[in-house]
Amino acid sequence: MAGVLLCTAGLGAFPSTATAEPTGPDVSSWQHSGGRPIDWFAVRASGHRFAMVKATEGLDYINPFFVQDSLHMRVAGIARGTYHYARPELPPEPQAALYAAVVLGQNGPLDMPPVLDIEHSGGLPPAALIDWTHRYLNTVQALTGRVPIVYTYPTFWRTAMADSDQFHRYPLWIADYRDRPAPEVPGRWPAWTFWQQTDSGSIPGIHGPTDVNVYSGAQGDFARFARMGGLTGSGSG
């Protein structure tokens, strides 16, 4: 397994099993069926140290549970990542501005870097989509002061993004649900940072199936990456 990880990710420091590193769900309004809240204390008590929360989509959608989840996660001691779901058929700069305004920065305790979720082309050819992605990421970094994370999946990146290798400065969050010791890494990224391993996980405190992710260690100590500070030793919150 270690050999596969070395070949796939290019980092010898990766753990030999995914369970050796922090795990966490990513959630949106779908995890609030019927308006039910997520019990973030139960999520933390079950061993998960972080979660990714959908903030915005396109030019006019704001997750109605975003503020609620953000506040409860912070009280429970769970590191927070927030993401924007890209609509490349619309201009990138206003989408970046909407996202940045809603999340009010990503620079406090328990804040991980901002995330761009790009998994649709919006009808753009690869060259135009690559340009769109650069513009969005540059704008979000300027507005938040942090280098964003890119979320995608291998087939989309290889086809819609022409397997571009222009984004290596951004940490990679890759979705790959196949039963394998490491995810497929497109675009010759030197490492993956987060791996979304399933979209049908079960986590105490979250109603129904949810995505589950693991951190690779590629960005170093998770507590520092997530700005956990003195909260790293907290239990169930």
Distance of alpha carbon 116 from alpha carbon 207, whole angstroms: 25
Q: What DSSP string describes 116-171?
A: EE----TT--HHHHHHHHHHHHHHHHHHHSSPPEEEE-HHHHHHTTTT--TTTTSP
SS3 labels along 168-235: CCCCEEEECCCCCCCCCCCCCCCCCCEEEEEEEECCCCCCCCEEEEEECCCCCCHHHHCCCHHHCCCC
End-to-end CA distance of the chain: 34
- The rounded average pLDDT for each run of 10 residues, N- to C-terminus, in the chain (237 residues) is 35 38 96 96 97 98 97 96 98 98 90 97 98 98 97 98 98 97 97 97 96 97 87 39
Give the model's pLDDT for residue 229: 74
Q: Which two tokens stand for residue 203?
A: 């986590």
119 in active site: yes
Phi, psi of 142 (to 5 degrees): -65, -35
Give the model's pLDDT for residue 208: 92
Give the model's pLDDT for residue 104: 86
Give the model's pLDDT for residue 20: 57
Q: Which two tokens stand for residue 152?
A: 């995608």
Q: Which two tokens stand for residue 136?
A: 């969005």
> 2-229: which CATH topology?
TIM Barrel (3.20.20)
Give the model's pLDDT for residue 6: 34
Nearest to 154, CA basis, from 133, 124, 126, 184: 184
- Write down the pTM of the prediction: 0.88
Which one is catalytic: 21, 39, 93, 119? 119
Give the model's pLDDT for residue 117: 98
Q: Are 55 and 103 in contact (CB under 8 A)?
A: yes
Q: Are 51 and 25 in contact (CB under 8 A)?
A: yes
Give the model's pLDDT for residue 55: 98
Distance of alpha carbon 23 from alpha carbon 49, whole angstroms: 6
21 in active site: no
Q: What DSSP string describes 77-104?
A: T-EEEEEEE--TTS-HHHHHHHHHHHHT
Which one is catalytic: 26, 69, 111, 211? 26
Which one is catalytic: 69, 117, 176, 211? 117
Give the model's pLDDT for residue 16: 34
Distance of alpha carbon 27 from alpha carbon 25, whole angstroms: 6
